[in-house]
Amino acid sequence: MGQFLFYFAKGGIKIMGYVEMLESADKKMIVEEKGLKITEDALLLSNFLRKYFSKKNKNSKTRKSVILEIGAGQGIMSLLISEIDMVERIIAVEVQKDVYETLEKNIEINNLRQKITPLNENIKNIEGKYEFIFSNPPYKKVNAGKLPDNVTERISKYEILLTLEELFREIRRLLSNYGEFFVIVPNSRLNDVFRYIYANNMNIISIEINKYKKTDLIIVHGRKGGKANSGIVIDF
């Protein structure tokens, strides 16, 4: 990835930021200098999704799908998977207005209006059914140390507007029968995640543990419906 600095107007205010070149997907992304940054968890989940959907895409019987992203941020994950043929459209939901405005700009500069639909809304107000849902959610507990002064960062990383328990409740509500979900969380929240998944009558297909980096992030891939207790695939 490469980058260069620039200034742009946002809400009548001059903002300093930079454009990050996402060379692996031939995309570019505006990142505010004092805003959210591209994180390892977003890149890990994007890579997992690209591999998974590309593999499904090789199956000629796989039809195109409308996919939902919960907590799209500035749009990096939606940008990175938008090129996959089986992805008909991505509904990218972001609750924070200022972050949503940057998301819109990133969709626009990549000419992806026909592929990504941004929504500035609380996920609890979203309707419809989706075959696939993915999320890099706020997974830090509010009582886990001092909260960041930056409100945007606080909401993006901590369970303030959306807890993990609420996330899986919404995933179940919005998934079609046998629909699949993909969520990345730290190992410290894995027991909670398993409990919330099973409490909502969903099942775990696989978990991927990132062995190459010094990180405790784990990708959980699950399904609504299907045979319970059929085994979990663990990828290292």
Q: Which residue has the higher pLDDT, 55 or 173?
A: 173
**Global pTM value:** 0.89
Place of tokens 């031939």: 26
What confidence category does residue 108 fall into, taking pLDDT thresholds of 50, 70 and 90?
very high
Give yes or no for residue 24 having a pLDDT over 80. Answer: no
**Which pLDDT belongs to residue 2?**
47
- Three-state DSSP at 14 gives strand
Average of pLDDT values for 200-207? 96
Question: Which structure tokens are listed for 13?
Answer: 């205010």
37-57 tens-digit pLDDT:
778 889 999 999 999 988 887
127-158 tens-digit pLDDT:
999 999 999 999 999 987 789 888 988 999 99
Sorted by sequence, the CB contacts under 8 Å of residue 52 that are 6+ apart come out as 182, 221
What domains can be seen in the chain, in order of their start residue? 39-235 (3.40.50.150)
